[in-house]
Amino acid sequence: MAELVGIAESIAREAGALLREFYHRGVAAEYKGDVDLVTEADRASEALIVARLSEALPDHGIYGEEGTRQALESEFRWYIDPLDGTTNFAHGFPAFCVILGCERRAPGLAAGEDGEMVAGVIYDPLRDEMFSTERGGGAKLNGKPIHASRTKTLQESLVATGFPSHKRHRSPNVHFYQEFTLRSHGVRRAGSAGLDLAYVACGRLEGFWEFKLNPWDTSAGYLMVEEAGGKITHFDGGKFTLDSREVLATNGLIHAEMQHLFEDLFAGKNIEPIPTPAEFAARRMDETTDK
């Protein structure tokens, strides 16, 4: 699968260069839903990736975030996110990437079943960081092997999450955010699931969780985390699948601890109440008095 990785790296670099040009000159954003942004850069990047993949691998299928659905019955299928972190990109916040993940689908596999992820790349064009992986070949950053961190406890860990853009008022993640903040070394919210998964793979983060991601968000990172020695599942420890609406990825060593915390939170156990405005005011007064 090394050949597939090489092709994907070349295409991701070309798409990344295109995104850099758009980023530095600025682009107008529009909405493709109530709150989901899309830009000219998203569409241009997907068009470039689709064209290059079609030229290099004409018998492969393509499933893209911006609407490409091409030859999905093929043995090999690419999931592409031409610009992961569009909201960041549109606001000039420097955290976004290009994602290409390749799945091999056995003959006769049902439409709703997963094949086997075999290759993937996540490219950060502003830092020129190319994360790559192939099944059985480990994971790399700019050609050098990477491995998940060896931190053993959540208390010592830096973790990350994300928040859905759609129906955010219904998401319970703000409560999970608080609980993990209280129990970890810190929680980061960078706005790019692709980069978050790559950072778990290379040891910059010990864990990452999020609701409501799509196959193009996780395809490359799924394999990358596993090949780097980490673990990725549902919140309850069940097998991760590309259509999973919840993602828990860790270095493997803190996975059980994070999983147990999710079990408690979903059961309503050991939850620290979020202070009311009145309680905040009272604490502020107490701190002022103590000084």
Closest CA to 217 of 97, 75, 119, 59: 97
What are 73's two structure tokens? 């019955």
- CA 248 distance to own-chain centroid: 10
pLDDT computed for residue 151 by the predictor = 98
Tell me the one-letter amino acid at 59: D
**β-sheet bridge partners, residue 285:** none
What are 254's two structure tokens? 């803190």
Element (H, E) at 69: strand 69-70
pLDDT computed for residue 271 by the predictor = 72
Q: Say if residues 210 and 162 touch (Cβ distance below 8 Å).
A: yes
Tokens 């480990």 locate to 138
pLDDT computed for residue 204 by the predictor = 98
- Angle ∠(124,130,136) on CA atoms, nearest 5: 135
pLDDT computed for residue 283 by the predictor = 63
The one-digit pLDDT tens for each residue of the chain (291 residues) are 789 999 999 999 999 999 999 999 877 666 665 545 678 899 999 999 999 999 999 999 999 998 999 999 999 999 999 999 999 999 999 999 999 999 999 888 887 788 999 999 999 999 999 999 999 999 999 999 999 999 999 999 999 999 876 555 556 788 889 999 999 999 999 999 999 999 999 999 999 999 989 999 999 999 999 999 999 999 999 999 998 789 999 999 999 999 999 999 888 887 776 666 776 666 665 655 555
Q: What is the CATH number of domain 154-267?
A: 3.40.190.80
The neighbour count for residue 272, using CB atoms within 10 Å, is 11
The CATH number of domain 1-145 is 3.30.2130.10: no
DSSP line for 180-220: HHHHSSEEE--S-HHHHHHHHHHTS-SEEEEES--HHHHHH
Tell me the one-letter amino acid at 202: C
Tokens 């390749």 locate to 102
- Angle ∠(177,181,184) on CA atoms, nearest 5: 130
- Angle ∠(184,145,216) on CA atoms, nearest 5: 70
Secondary structure of residue 155 in the 3-state scheme: helix
pLDDT computed for residue 35 by the predictor = 47
Q: How many helical (H) and strand (E) elements, i.e. helices and strands, does the chain have?
A: 8, 15
Domain residue limits, the chain: 1-145, 154-267
Binding-site residue positions: 65, 81, 83-84, 217
pTM: 0.90
Distance CA 32, CA 43 (A): 12
Closest CA to 231 of 208, 204, 262: 208
Q: Say if residues 84 and 192 touch (Cβ distance below 8 Å).
A: yes
Instruction: Classify residue 241 by its DSSP letter.
Output: -
Q: Say if residues 40 and 16 touch (Cβ distance below 8 Å).
A: no
Binding-site residue positions for Mg(2+): 65, 81, 83-84, 217
